[in-house]
């Protein structure tokens, strides 16, 4: 491979000839061959947006000449568009401030800007520190990139995916509105509900998840840009922070503002910790929805079987004809990953000492992966599972009639103790609550008419509030 020699403050480094990165990046490549994980598209885009906005602001403030600013803006746009992703080569596990990745962006943009201007890679006609990084520090750029990347990802990817899931579940709730079934608490039989009511609950849960993601976007609106090294704003124009936040707001459509206190914004990562917690809550909610749907569809003959899930692929290499709830299992695995990511983000947020957090690259990786996976899982689950769910109404009816919880509606008419005795006898004999109650009416043990019994055991009357009272003869 052809190479070239580049220099940084520590000396010479051999760099691949066509690489847009420079000596500082190459040094980090050799220092951190740890995981193979690299920053994803959203984070690299955010870095490009910040560097581009900085060039515009520094130009407008008279700090950066028009020609260099234009070259940086054009090169940064290629970073934003994903055309230079192959040149962002650093491992996630690196310096805790993300300085290596900030310099990776500075060097790539500087060298690409030189190319666009007709110069050579490595010429430093556009300087990575003096020009691309003007008015900035890794210590304010990297946390700002986390905020911008996560906010964009949630608004553009996660919120729409959760809203689509909620809409899909709401459509099923309407479709299943007339399907009576048995409810369950503690995994045991409870009083009847409709399948539509259950799915309506899932739809609301997904809608609230979308609201949580929207709330999380707002939690990221304060940016530490302008604080530079420690929060004092050394080496940057007093107007830089306000203007760059306004520029990023205009480009992204998200209302970013200058941090109210730059020391808080750079020294702590509480906002990121808050957002990660919201993502964990969303993951837990999705796992509940997927877990319920998986159980409701269990069988097809020896499980609950109240719903039928769309068959997506063969389920066994040894059992012919077996089809598994793979989409539900996928969602639950993603939820497990996100819950683990939250633990990692929390630990990284704890790496805050004095004026700087030093867990930011790992924090960024796990936070953005959580957003990406939740969005993708929600979308796939909606398309490949929810839309194809059908009700097994006959199975639902059979399970209601056999449930011991049917005696609940008898309690206001015959008293709790008598109703409990009916349930116990039904369980012991294998008969239904209706059958035992009919026998006790005939024997005179309970004083109800056949009509009263039928009305009391009508599952359609059990799915909403009622004011039944003990009959006068009881």
> Of the residues 9, 186, 317, 464, which is catalytic?
186
Active site residue 87: no
Cα-based torsion angle of the residue sequence 363, 369, 372, 378 in order, rounded to the nearest 10 degrees: -110
Q: Which residues are CB-neighbours of 207 under 8 A, at least 6 positions away?
A: 162, 163, 166
How many CA within 13 A on the CB side of residue 56?
Answer: 21
Mapping DSSP to helix (H, G, I), strand (E, B) and coil, where does residue 215 land? helix
Buried b (16+ CB within 10 A) or exposed e, 82-98: eebbebbbbbbebbbbb
Q: How far apart are CA 474 and CA 469, in angstroms?
A: 10
Q: Are strands 222-223 and 188-194 parallel, antiparallel or unpaired?
A: unpaired
Q: How far apart are CA 197 and CA 176, in angstroms?
A: 8
User: What does DSSP assign to residue 465?
Assistant: -
CB 473 within 8 A of CB 448: no
Sign of CA dihedral 425, 428, 429, 431: positive
Mapping DSSP to helix (H, G, I), strand (E, B) and coil, where does residue 89 land? coil
Active site residue 100: no
Q: How far apart are CA 87 and CA 83, in angstroms?
A: 9
CB 230 within 8 A of CB 266: yes
> Of the residues 35, 123, 316, 466, which is catalytic?
316
Active site residues: 186, 316
């Amino acid at each position: 491979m052809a190479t070239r020699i580049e220099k940084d403050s520590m000396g010479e480094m051999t760099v691949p000839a066509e690489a847009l990165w420079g000596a500082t990046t190459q040094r980090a490549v050799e220092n951190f061959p740890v995981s193979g994980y690299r920053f994803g598209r959203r984070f690299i885009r955010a870095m490009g947006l910040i560097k581009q906005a900085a060039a515009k602001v520094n130009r407008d403030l008279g700090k950066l000449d028009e020609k260099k600013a234009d070259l940086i803006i054009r090169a940064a746009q290629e970073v934003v568009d994903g055309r230079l992703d192959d040149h962002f080569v650093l491992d996630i596990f690196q310096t805790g401030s993300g300085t290596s990745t900030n310099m990776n962006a500075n060097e790539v943009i500087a060298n690409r800007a030189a190319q666009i201007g007709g110069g050579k890679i490595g010429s430093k006609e556009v300087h990575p520190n003096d020009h691309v990084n003007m008015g900035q520090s890794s210590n304010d750029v990297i946390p700002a990139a986390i905020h911008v990347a996560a906010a964009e990802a949630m608004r553009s990817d996660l919120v729409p995916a959760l809203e689509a899931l909620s809409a899909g579940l709401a459509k099923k709730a309407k479709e299943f509105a007339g399907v009576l079934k048995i409810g369950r608490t503690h995994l045991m039989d409870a009083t009847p509900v409709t399948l539509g009511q259950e799915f309506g609950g899932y739809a609301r849960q997904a809608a609230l998840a979308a609201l949580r993601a929207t709330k999380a976007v707002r939690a990221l609106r304060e940016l530490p840009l302008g604080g530079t090294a420690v929060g004092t704003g050394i080496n940057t124009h007093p107007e830089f922070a306000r203007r760059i936040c306004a520029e990023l707001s205009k480009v992204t459509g998200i209302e970013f503002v200058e941090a109210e206190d730059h020391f808080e914004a750079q020294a702590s990562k509480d906002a990121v910790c808050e957002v990660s917690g919201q993502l964990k809550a969303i993951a837990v909610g999705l796992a509940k929805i997927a877990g319920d749907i998986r159980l409701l569809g269990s069988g097809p003959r020896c499980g609950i079987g109240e719903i039928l899930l769309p068959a997506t692929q063969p389920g066994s290499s040894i059992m012919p004809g077996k089809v598994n709830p793979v989409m539900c299992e996928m969602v639950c695995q993603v939820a497990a990953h996100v819950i683990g990511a939250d633990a990692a983000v929390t630990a990284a947020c704890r790496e805050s000492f004095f004026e700087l957090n030093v867990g930011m690259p790992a924090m960024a990786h796990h936070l953005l992966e959580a957003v990406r996976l939740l969005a993708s899982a929600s979308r796939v689950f909606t398309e490949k599972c929810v839309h194809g769910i059908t009700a097994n109404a006959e199975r639902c009816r059979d399970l209601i009639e056999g449930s011991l919880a049917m005696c609940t509606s008898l309690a206001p008419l015959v008293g709790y103790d008598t109703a409990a005795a009916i349930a116990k006898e039904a369980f012991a004999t294998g008969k239904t609550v209706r059958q035992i109650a009919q026998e006790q009416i005939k024997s005179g043990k309970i004083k109800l008419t056949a009509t009263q019994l039928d009305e009391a055991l009508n599952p359609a009357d059990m799915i909403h509030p009622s004011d039944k009272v003990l009959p006068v003869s009881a």
